[in-house]
């Protein structure tokens, strides 16, 4: 462990940049004065306020995605020192304990829009595919929802915290642009809606969406996903559950033939 | 499907609630948002959403009480018919959320669990852990996705609203927006445009709000002729933690679950807080407000924290900070119970401060949090219920026909101070009532439907926006927009937040003019045609500078104290006499002054854009159900004010009855 960083220290930040989707990536190095309480977002803000590289070249500010700045919107996923995580909850003091330099790069499993901004629309499309919603009859006032026990709530809430950040998809060996695998996050959402007393009524629709190519059987059970999820979504549990339920669903369909 | 289209700008709770309701009503929706709607600022809301519920009802609570608490909390500056309607809808809104699958915490019997929030004596807040906003937003996002899959909603994410399109009669006919990747500018013709674009905390630099909360969209509507109401009412939350980029909130839920605010009785006590014995702790909110304790409304809690810190009790030598204590020793509540109910905020503190707040008290600071002010919107009162006529196209409509505002972007529900957990409610409520309002509008469109409009109208609007963009991109002066923003934030936070005075406000306006001049000389470090975030930010900075002036001038003009707007120069001195008669006389004086202040200032501020700056006027507030009264919250020593006020009201009523005889 190094000594606490003092004011006056200069951070070296290595950023992998790319001007447009079709362009070649390149690297730029920036020097940013250290401040206490800094996170990676404030490092990027400092670069925007003075977009000059370490060798004195004026450049454009680095483009990146963020909104909430408190690890709840899912926007700011990136590779920080090679590890996928949220930039907003990544504190500089912690990074400095790993080494003197900070490196930032975009996620690799999604198309780069510019610099650290990637296009994750594939994840939102997947939520349509697994019909991740409760098909209520109407929004009119027809009374309260079903009674739910604390136990059920405690099973659903952690699944419902998924912020579609894509960290789990990034580390999944089965998920990439050459494969159709839907990825861990949407599978967990299917599991969530199948737990809900009303969602259950349309459980087979969700299961069937996960039974074909690109579905649950493409998961190699590497369990990389669950290790990186910043919201601790119980991905392995959900994958196991959907795996079992799709098997039962297949048997049911075979019997009904 | 109806042949009319609606454009909704913004996909936070308000925008999504409107989108799903309109889709159910078979009205086609274009949904425009700068961020994927699932990443909207509403995800940040932690503590919960208010409604009268089974438990409070059993204690005698009613929708009326919720209404009363909201109006008293807003110091009577909220028009009462819309607030009344909202409070009567609250249980229905929560029932709907429950049916949509929001994983609310449960009681042992399977009911929705409840907790207490500020400004009420009832446990009226339901919650999903400490990430209620996220859970509500996801439920609505899922419903909108369902309609998107059916083709009733079309989403334009990473698109930025640039302004409404008005025809030559001043009717809104759609809007212009820009693709934030390709920078394409496009017109979206529509028969109604709903702005659900949230608050404007970024004007204060660092706040508890998200990065898109610049108020840019509201500013653009204001610039086009929409009135901006009550700009000077900005909520400063008492309990946040500082960061280099953001001030992160520690929800009021912490106090709702028994968290206690204190400072050491000895100024600058060097001991670790855990080592300070009970008797040497000053629980100033509990001592001064025995009835509400730590759950006085936010404006009061924030001012009290400021006051003790100003007196030298701050627990951090560099700023104004106090302890918020969740340890079992202070609360008497077991750690595992709090972990279940407050998980997300405990994690936030642990993640960003590196300390477990269940093992030692948190250090917390006030932070800009919410804009009570916003675009002025209309309503139509229902003569029978005293609430709203829901089939009126006037509800939530700005003064520009066809242009609506909902959610934090409007000014309607919270008066001079918002109560905790009432915002999620007002957002969803306003979104849902857009169904009947828009249906009514479409039955009888003023000036006919949009497809009769000439293409020229839209081409010209797009042309103007393109010119403005080109002008911005040409800027190559020496000023950096991000640095200017930092200065703007520091200025506004210093002079236009908790304590305001006219000399500083005047000085702020001078400095804002200077910042405005420097803005003209700014240079864009990126002038490229692809995903140009600097362009978007610089445009929003111009809007923030404009709104900042409206806020500061509104504050300068309002010479009184009301809710979050506090000007000590105009506060009415409280009764202090020892001798009972004299004390009563002082209280009478106090009440007279308070009455006179209401006569003059119980009015909505209206700002209208002109090329020379905002033009201000005032409009009476509709207080048709609950008469204004002094807002003491049972402050120790202020009992005499309540007593005298009551007696005088009774006397006046008696005289009125006698005169009628
Ligand atoms: C940390 C925190 C905690 C809170 N906790 C609570 C709580 O517990 N209970 C409670 O009741 N309230 C709470 N609030 C307040 C509440 O969260 C907000 O007032 C509310 O979520 C606002 O919702 P909205 O729908 O109006 O707008 P937002 O959720 O802010 O959404 C605005 C939308 O507009 C879009 N947008 C903005 N500008 C443009 C533009 N120019 N072009 C296109 N799109 C645009 C954005 O992309 C976004 O989709 C909290 C607030 C904060 C900051
Ligand atoms: S278990 Fe492995 S293969 Fe399956 S989703 Fe997770 S990371 Fe991918
Ligand atoms: S499951 Fe976790 S890692 Fe994956 S998208 Fe959701 S929050 Fe992110
Ligand atoms: S900015 Fe929202 S998760 Fe980081």
Three-class SS of A44-91: HHHHHHCCECCCCCECCCCCCCCCCCCCCCCCCEEEECCEEEECCCCE
The whole-number pLDDT of residue B89 equals 98
Burial category of B110 from C-beta neighbours within 10 Å (exposed 0-12, middle 13-18, buried 19 and up): middle
CA atoms within 13 A on the CB side of B480: 16
**Nearest CA distance, A75 vs chain B (angstrom):** 7
The whole-number pLDDT of residue B607 equals 98
Condensed to tens digits (0 to 9), the pLDDT of residues B595-624 reads 999 999 999 999 999 999 999 999 999 999
> Is A159's C-beta closer than 6 angstroms to any atom of ligand 3?
no
The whole-number pLDDT of residue A2 equals 42
Q: Tell me phi and psi for residue B214, to 5 degrees.
A: -95, -15
Contact yes or no for B406/B430 (Cβ under 8 A): yes
CATH 2.40.110.10 fits A10-118, yes or no: no
CA distance B282 to B128: 32
Burial category of B608 from C-beta neighbours within 10 Å (exposed 0-12, middle 13-18, buried 19 and up): middle
The whole-number pLDDT of residue B122 equals 96
Condensed to tens digits (0 to 9), the pLDDT of residues B32-47 reads 999 999 999 999 999 9
**Nearest CA distance, A190 vs chain B (angstrom):** 12
Using a CB–CB cutoff of 8 Å, tell me whether A105 touches chain B. no
**Ligand 1: which of B43, B97, B197, B544 to mutate, judged by most atoms within 8 Å of the beta carbon?**
B197
The Cα angle at residue A90 between residues A86 and A96, in degrees rounded to 5: 140
Condensed to tens digits (0 to 9), the pLDDT of residues B88-122 reads 999 999 999 999 999 999 999 999 999 999 999 99
**Residue spans of chain A under pLDDT 70:** 1-5, 7
Give the helix, strand, coil percentages of chain A, each rounded to 5. 35, 15, 50
Q: Where are the domains of chain A?
A: 10-118, 121-255
Using a CB–CB cutoff of 8 Å, tell me whether B300 touches chain A. no
Q: Which residues of B touch A145 (CB under 8 A)?
A: 95, 98-101
Contact yes or no for A80/A99 (Cβ under 8 A): no
Report which of B403, B400, B414, B406 is spatially closest to residue B433, judged by C-alpha positions.
B406
> What is the percent of chain B where pLDDT is above 90?
93
Buried-state track B173-185, b at ≥16 Cβ within 10 A, e below 16: bbbbbbebbebeb
Architecture of domain A121-255: Orthogonal Bundle (1.10)
CA distance B315 to B364: 9
Q: Whose CA is nearest to atom 13 of ligand 1?
A: B45
For ligand 3, what atom is nearest to the CA of residue A161? 7
Structural domains present in chain B: 5-40+132-233+372-456 (3.50.50.60), 237-368 (3.90.700.10), 480-571 (1.20.58.100), 572-660 (no CATH)
Please give the model's pTM, rounded to 2 decimal places. Answer: 0.97
Within 431-450 of B, beta carbons closer than 8 Å to A belong to 432, 435
CA distance B339 to A165: 24
Residues near ligand 2 (Cβ within 6 A):
A 172-174, 184, 219-225, 239
A10-118 shares its CATH topology with A121-255:
no
Using a CB–CB cutoff of 8 Å, tell me whether A199 touches chain B. yes
**Ligand (nearest to CA of B90):** 1
CA distance B172 to B189: 9
B251/B446: higher pLDDT: B251
Q: Which residues of B touch A48 (CB under 8 A)?
A: 482, 525, 534
Q: Which residues of B touch A147 (CB under 8 A)?
A: 110-111
> Is A40's C-beta closer than 6 angstroms to any atom of ligand 4?
no
CA distance B457 to B459: 6
CB contact under 8 A, A135 and B148: no
The whole-number pLDDT of residue A1 equals 38
Condensed to tens digits (0 to 9), the pLDDT of residues B165-215 reads 999 999 999 999 999 999 999 999 999 999 999 999 999 999 999 999 999
Contact yes or no for B338/B234 (Cβ under 8 A): no
Query: Residue A174 Cα, ligand 2 centroid: separation in angstroms?
Result: 7
Condensed to tens digits (0 to 9), the pLDDT of residues B471-503 reads 999 999 999 999 999 999 999 999 999 999 999
> Is A75's C-beta closer than 6 angstroms to any atom of ligand 4?
yes
- Would you list the DSSP string of B389-411? -TT-TTTTB-SSTTEEE-GGGB-
Q: Tell me phi and psi for residue A163, to 5 degrees.
A: -105, 20
Contact yes or no for A30/A117 (Cβ under 8 A): no
The Cα angle at residue A182 between residues A179 and A187, in degrees rounded to 5: 155
Active site residues of B: 298
Candidates B24, B99, B537, partner chain A, best to mutate (most A CBs within 10 A): B99
CA atoms within 13 A on the CB side of A215: 17
**Nearest CA distance, A255 vs chain B (angstrom):** 31
Q: Chain centroid to CA B153: how far?
A: 27
State the sign of the Cα–Cα–Cα–Cα dihedral B318, B322, B324, B329: positive
Condensed to tens digits (0 to 9), the pLDDT of residues B228-287 reads 999 999 999 999 998 888 999 999 999 999 999 999 999 999 999 999 999 999 999 999
Query: Residue A74 Cα, ligand 4 centroid: separation in angstroms?
Result: 5
CB contact under 8 A, A133 and B142: yes
Contact yes or no for B106/B32 (Cβ under 8 A): no
Q: Whose CA is nearest to atom 1 of ligand 3?
A: A185
Q: Which residues of B touch A59 (CB under 8 A)?
A: 525
The whole-number pLDDT of residue B2 equals 67
CB contact under 8 A, A143 and B348: no
The whole-number pLDDT of residue A4 equals 56
Report which of B571, B574, B567, B580 is spatially closest to residue B638, judged by C-alpha positions.
B574
Contact yes or no for B35/A67 (Cβ under 8 A): yes
The Cα angle at residue B579 between residues B576 and B585, in degrees rounded to 5: 65
**Nearest CA distance, A224 vs chain B (angstrom):** 22
Residue B541: pLDDT above 60?
A: yes
Inter-axis angle of helices A40-49 and B481-495, to 10 degrees?
110
The average confidence (pLDDT) of chain B is: 96
Condensed to tens digits (0 to 9), the pLDDT of residues B287-338 reads 999 999 999 999 999 999 999 999 999 999 888 999 999 999 999 999 999 9
Q: Which residues of A touch B41 (CB under 8 A)?
A: 67-68, 73
Q: Whose CA is nearest to atom 4 of ligand 2?
A: A219
CA distance A148 to A155: 11
CA distance B434 to B17: 9
Q: Which helix (H) or strand (E) holds B141?
A: helix B132-149
């Amino acid at each position: 462990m190094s000594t606490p960083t003092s004011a006056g220290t200069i951070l070296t930040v290595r950023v992998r940049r790319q001007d447009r989707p079709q362009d070649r990536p390149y690297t730029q190095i920036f020097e940013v004065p250290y401040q206490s309480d800094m996170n990676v977002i404030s490092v990027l803000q400092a670069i925007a306020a003075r977009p000059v590289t370490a060798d004195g070249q004026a450049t454009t500010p680095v483009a990146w995605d963020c909104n909430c700045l408190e690890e709840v919107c899912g926007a700011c996923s990136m590779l920080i020192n090679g590890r996928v995580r949220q930039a907003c909850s990544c504190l500089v003091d912690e990074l400095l304990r790993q080494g003197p330099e900070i490196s930032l790069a975009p996620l690799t499993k999604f198309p780069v829009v510019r610099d650290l901004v990637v296009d994750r629309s594939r994840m939102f499309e997947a939520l349509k595919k697994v019909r991740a919603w409760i098909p209520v009859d109407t929004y009119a006032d027809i009374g309260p929802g079903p009674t739910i026990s604390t136990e059920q709530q405690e099973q659903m809430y952690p699944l419902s915290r998924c912020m579609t950040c894509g960290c789990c998809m990034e580390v999944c060996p089965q998920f990439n642009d050459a494969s159709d695998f839907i990825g861990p996050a949407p599978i967990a959402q299917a599991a969530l809606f199948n737990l809900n007393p009303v969602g259950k009524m349309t459980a087979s629709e969700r299961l069937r969406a996960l039974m074909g190519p690109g579905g649950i059987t493409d998961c190699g059970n590497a369990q990389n996903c669950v290790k990186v999820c910043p919201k601790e979504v119980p991905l392995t549990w959900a994958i196991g559950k959907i795996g079992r339920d799709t098997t039962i669903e297949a048997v049911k369909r075979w019997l009904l033939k | 499907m109806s042949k009319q289209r609606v454009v909704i700008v913004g996909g936070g709770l308000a925008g999504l609630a409107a989108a799903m309701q309109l889709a159910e009503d078979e009205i086609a929706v274009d949904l425009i948002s700068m961020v994927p709607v699932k990443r909207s600022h509403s995800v940040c809301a932690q503590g919960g959403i208010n409604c009268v519920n089974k438990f409070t009802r059993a204690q005698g609570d009613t929708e009326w009480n919720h209404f009363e608490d909201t109006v008293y909390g807003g110091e009577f500056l909220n028009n009462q018919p819309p607030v009344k309607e909202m409070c009567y809808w609250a249980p229905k809104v929560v029932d709907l959320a429950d049916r949509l699958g929001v994983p609310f915490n449960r009681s042992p019997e399977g009911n929705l669990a409840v907790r207490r929030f500020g400004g009420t004596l009832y446990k009226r807040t339901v919650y999903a852990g400490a990430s209620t906003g996220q859970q509500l937003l996801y439920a609505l996002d899922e419903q909108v996705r369902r309609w998107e899959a059916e083709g009733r909603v079309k989403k334009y994410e990473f698109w930025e609203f640039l302004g409404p399109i008005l025809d030559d009669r001043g009717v809104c006919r759609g809007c212009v927006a820009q693709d934030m990747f390709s920078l394409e500018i496009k017109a979206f013709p529509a028969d109604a445009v709903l702005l659900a674009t949230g608050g404007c905390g970024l004007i204060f630099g660092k706040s508890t709000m998200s990065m898109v909360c610049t108020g840019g969209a509201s500013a653009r509507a204001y610039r086009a002729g929409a009135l901006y109401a009550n700009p000077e009412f900005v909520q400063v939350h008492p309990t946040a933690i500082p960061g280099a980029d953001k001030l992160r909130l520690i929800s009021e839920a912490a106090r709702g679950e028994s968290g206690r605010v204190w400072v050491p009785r000895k100024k600058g006590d060097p001991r670790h807080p855990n080592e300070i014995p009970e008797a040497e702790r000053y629980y100033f909110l509990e001592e001064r407000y025995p009835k509400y304790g730590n759950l006085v409304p936010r404006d009061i809690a924030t001012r009290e924290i400021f006051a003790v810190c100003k007196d030298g009790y701050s627990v951090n030598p560099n700023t104004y900070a106090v302890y918020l204590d969740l340890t079992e020793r202070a609360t008497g509540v077991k750690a595992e119970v709090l972990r279940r109910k407050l998980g997300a905020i405990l994690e936030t503190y642990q993640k960003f401060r590196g300390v477990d707040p269940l093992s030692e008290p948190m250090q917390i600071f006030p932070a800009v949090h919410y804009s009570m002010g916003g675009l002025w919107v209309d309503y139509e009162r229902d003569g029978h219920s005293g609430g709203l006529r829901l089939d009126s196209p006037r509800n939530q409509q700005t003064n520009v026909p066809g242009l609506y505002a909902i959610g934090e972007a409007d000014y309607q529900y919270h008066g001079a101070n918002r109560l905790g957990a009432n915002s999620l409610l007002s957002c969803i409520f306003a979104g849902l009532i857009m169904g009947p309002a828009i249906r009514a509008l479409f039955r009888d469109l003023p000036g006919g439907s949009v497809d009769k409009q000439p293409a020229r109208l839209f081409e010209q609007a797009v042309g103007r926006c393109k010119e403005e963009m080109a002008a911005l991109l040409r800027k190559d002066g020496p000023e950096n927009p991000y640095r200017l923003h930092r200065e703007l934030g520091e200025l506004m936070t210093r002079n236009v937040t908790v304590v305001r005075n006219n000399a500083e406000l005047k000085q702020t306006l001078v400095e804002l003019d200077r910042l405005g001049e420097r803005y003209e000389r700014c240079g864009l470090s990126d002038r490229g045609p692809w995903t140009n975030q600097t362009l978007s930010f610089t445009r929003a900075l111009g809007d923030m500078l404009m709104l900042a002036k409206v806020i500061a001038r509104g504050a300068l003009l309002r010479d009184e104290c009301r809710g979050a707007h506090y000007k000590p120069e105009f506060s009415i001195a409280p009764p202090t006499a020892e001798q009972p008669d004299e004390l009563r006389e002082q209280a009478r004086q106090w009440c007279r002054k308070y009455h006179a202040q209401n006569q003059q200032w119980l009015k909505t501020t209206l700002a209208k854009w002109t090329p020379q700056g905002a033009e201000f006027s005032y409009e009476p507030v509709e207080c048709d159900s609950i008469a204004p009264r002094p807002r003491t919250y049972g402050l120790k020593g202020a009992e005499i004010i309540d007593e005298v006020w009551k007696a005088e009201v009774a006397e006046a009523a008696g005289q009125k009855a006698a005169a009628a005889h």
